[in-house]
Amino acid sequence: MFDSVTTRALTSALDGLAARQSAIADNLANVNTPNFHARRVQFEDALADSVRQGDGAVEAAASRSLEPTRLNGNNVNTDTETLSNADTVLRYQFAAQSLTGHFSNVRTALRSA
Amino acid sequence: MPMDAIGIAGTSLSTHRKWLDAVSDNLANVNTVTSTDDDAFQARYVTAVANADNQGVSAAGNEWGDPEGRVVHEPDHPLADEEGYVRYPDITLSDQMGSLIMAQRGYQMNTAVVDRAIDIYQAAIQIGAQQ
C-alpha cells in the first residue's frame, strides 16, 4: 500500500522537480559567468512511460542547453529560467499535496478496517 | 555533500557581492591621481567561474586594469612632474556603471531564487500533514 505506483510516481515527480529547482538555481547563479551553458532537467516523459508500465520510479535526466550564446559564451535566459522557477514551485506544491491526499486515503482505509 | 537551491543561490549572492565591491572601489577611485613615478590606480575586475558538479559559482580571482593609466597634462596639480603630467586611472565610467547594474540585478535575481526555494521547502514540510 505504501509502495504503490501512486507513491512511487509522486516521489519520482518530487525528486525530479527538486532536481530541476537546483538546476535553475545553478543556471541563475551563473547568469554572469562567461562560457556557462544552462542545464535542463527532464523526467516527465520517462515518468509517464513508467506509470503506463505499472512502475512509476524514474531518475531525472539532465542535459545542457544548445541555445545560442551571448558574446560572453553564456546562454542563460533569465526570462525562461524565472518562469520555469515559478512553474516548478507550483508543480512541486501540487505533487506534495497529491501525496498528502494519497496518505490521507490510506489513513481513512486503516481507520475503517 | 551537494548543495540545495538555497546554497547554490548563496554562492551567487557572494560572487555578485564581490563584483559589486570591486565596482564600488573602481568608481570611488575614478578620479584618483598619482604621480607619473607611480602606477595609476588599477581597476579590479572579478572573474566568475562555475563550480564543479553544478554547485553554483565562485569568484575565482581578479584581473587588473592597466597600470599605465591615462597621462594628463595638469601643471598646477601638486603631484605633477617637471613637465606637468599626472596619471589618472584607465577606468571607463560608463563600463563601470553598466557593471554596477548587472551585478545589482544578478544579486536581486538570486534573492528571488532563495524565496522560491523556501516555497518548495515549505511544501515538502507539509507532506503527510493532517488537513
Distance from CA of B28 to the nearest CA of A (A): 23
Grid cell for residue B115: 524565496
Helix (H, G, I), strand (E, B) or coil at A85: helix
pTM over 0.80: yes
Nearest-5° angle of CA A62, CA A66, CA B119?
45
Q: Which residue has the cell 499535496?
A: A97
Query: What's the ipTM?
Result: 0.88
Report the candidate in A103, A6, A1, A20 with the shortest Cα–Cα distance to residue A56.
A6
Q: Whole-angstrom Cα distance, residue A58 to residue B127? A: 20
**Tell me: the pLDDT tens digits for B79-129?**
999 999 999 999 999 999 999 999 999 999 999 999 999 999 999 999 988
Distance from CA of B86 to the nearest CA of A (A): 35
CB-CB contact of A60 with A100 (8 Å)? no
Question: Which chain B residues have a beta carbon less than 8 Å from that of A111?
Answer: none
Mean of the pLDDT values across residues A53-72? Answer: 94
> Which residues are within 8 A (CB) of A79 and not within 5 positions of it... i.e. 6 or more apart?
none
Q: Whole-angstrom Cα distance, residue A83 to residue B40? A: 45
pLDDT level of residue A60 (50, 70, 90 thresholds): very high
